[in-house]
Amino acid sequence: MSHRFVAHQQGSAFFMQPLDFGDIAYDYFCRLGCSANFWPARDGETEETKSYFNELKQVIGSRWGGSNSQVEGFYMYLKILNVTSDDGSASSKLFGSVHGKLFKDIYEELELLEPVQLKLEIVFGVPLDTKVIKISTQEMNMSMAPKDTHMAATYYTFEQTFPAPWPVTICDSGVDCFLKSELIYSPYPQPGLQLSPSNGSLQIAVMTKTILETGLHSDFTLISENGDRFPCHKVFLAPSSQFFATMFKTDMMESHMSECRLDGSTQEGVSALLKFVYYQDVQEPLTSSGLCVELLHLALMYDIPTLAHCVRNTMLSKRNSWWDIGGAVSLYFRVRLENGYANLKDKAIQILKTKRARGEIMSNANSHFEDLCVSDPNALKELMQLMFCS
């Protein structure tokens, strides 16, 4: 489910104006002044999602100034390369970069990054006997600009290939075009099972909750690192975790002992893990960033993909202010080398940068960094460079 802030502009003009940004030297420039059409929040969404959407709408509205006003500081740059292949056929490749204080405001005020995407459609004005040139981008994720550039902190990039030489001449006087831009807010799916009395899932959840809480006919025990014991059932663990499914089929020592100690776990973490396995409850992780990171660690270590997916979405949907410094540091070190979790690594860096800018790092984080200096000094050095030098 997504919300779209749609804007149209007729007569936008691209002019020649060079810009070096990253590895590309752009040639053409366009300032986009767009009227905004706001879609309302939808039924069935959580109060948190509705609140987030309304705040996003206020930020965008303050930049656009209303439904008939123009946005400030929303710019697009283009680079066009004509290419001839080995067989002699001609084509052209277009590179685009979109910048603006609007994106910076979204990032800084709402702490949003990946869920806010940009989609563009550009139709260039060309002679009537020439085929219309149309650029349509995919939904683009926001990126972070290098610190040493003069551009806004956040931007979008795209590229597109045309099977012919670029036919539109962009000169000093500019060229007209029609432009449609969409900012797309897609909240991360809310984790947990959607229970409905009509399909029986609520009754099943109540039953499995009772089985967990009473330990009725339990045949296995999970043990936290501190020695807390949790009676449970192989029939629930095996379908959720390939680790336990394999354990119960082989001659692993834990299977014969009918118990397993979970490395890196606390009493709260094992309790939350079992509540998810039995009836997909994820309310406890919402109370603590540290517990969220512990659950992700357990989900990855013991191969519980559905739990990892839910915890990941929970983490990505939370604002920086929800996180404490210890949770952000732990998240970075847990996922920095984990395949497929680059967005969580970026999230951890974003949180720590925000807290550093607010003066929270030096006053509250010394103990977290001191511990990591002992356990993994090279990784700590990497994190410091990302926080202070990029």
Pair (181, 316) in one structural domain: no
Helix axes of 342-357 and 377-388: crossing angle, nearest 10 degrees: 60
Put residue 133 in one of left, alpha, beta given phi > 0 → left and psi -120 to 50 → alpha: beta
Mean of the per-residue pLDDT values of the chain: 75
- pLDDT tens figures, 2-32: 566 666 665 656 776 766 766 677 777 777 6
Measured between alpha carbons, how far apart are the two ends of the chain, in Å?
33
- pLDDT tens figures, 309-344: 888 888 887 878 788 888 988 898 889 888 888 888
Report d(CA 141, CA 153) in Å as an integer: 14
- 153, containing H or E segment: none
Per the domain annotation, does 126 fall within a domain? yes
Which tokens is 275 given?
């509540």
**Residue that is last in its domain, among 128, 163, 185:** 185
Which tokens is 376 given?
């993994």
What per-residue confidence (pLDDT) applies to 292? Answer: 92
What is the DSSP secondary structure assignment for residue 109, as one 8-state letter?
A: H
Per the domain annotation, does 191 fall within a domain? no
- pLDDT tens figures, 276-322: 999 888 777 677 899 999 999 999 999 999 999 888 888 887 878 78
Per the domain annotation, does 77 fall within a domain? yes
**Residue that is last in its domain, among 185, 214, 236:** 185
More confident residue, 38 or 324: 324
Per the domain annotation, does 274 fall within a domain? yes
The answer to whether the beta carbons of residues 334 and 327 sit under 8 Å apart is no
- pLDDT tens figures, 83-141: 887 888 888 888 888 887 777 777 766 665 555 778 888 887 654 445 567 788 888 87
Output the domain CATH number for residue 252.
3.30.710.10
**Residue that is last in its domain, among 185, 215, 241:** 185
Measured in whole angstroms, the distance separating CA 242 from the mean position of its chain's CA atoms is: 27
Report d(CA 183, CA 36) in Å as an integer: 10
Pair (28, 120) in one structural domain: yes
Per the domain annotation, does 260 fall within a domain? yes
Domain range spanning residue 74? 3-185
Nearest alpha carbon to residue 138 among 150, 164, 156? 156
Pair (135, 241) in one structural domain: no
Which tokens is 327 given?
């949770």
Pair (315, 378) in one structural domain: yes
Pair (44, 76) in one structural domain: yes
Per the domain annotation, does 190 fall within a domain? no
Pair (360, 229) in one structural domain: yes
How many structural domains are present in the chain?
A: 2
Number of residues in the chain: 390
What per-residue confidence (pLDDT) applies to 115? Answer: 59
Please say if the pLDDT value at position 148 is more than 50: no
Report d(CA 305, CA 295) in Å as an integer: 11
Per the domain annotation, does 341 fall within a domain? yes
Pair (366, 232) in one structural domain: yes
Pair (155, 103) in one structural domain: yes
By DSSP bridging, strand 90-100 and strand 143-144 are unpaired
Measured CA to CA in angstroms, residue 209 lies from 219, 223, 236, 283 at distances of: 16, 19, 12, 14
Per the domain annotation, does 270 fall within a domain? yes
Pair (77, 160) in one structural domain: yes
- Contact partners, residue 72, CB within 8 Å, separation at least 6: 63, 101, 102
Q: Strand, helix or coil at 43?
A: coil
Pair (144, 240) in one structural domain: no
46: amino acid identity, one letter: T
Please say if the pLDDT value at position 269 is more than 90: yes
Pair (60, 109) in one structural domain: yes
Pair (133, 62) in one structural domain: yes
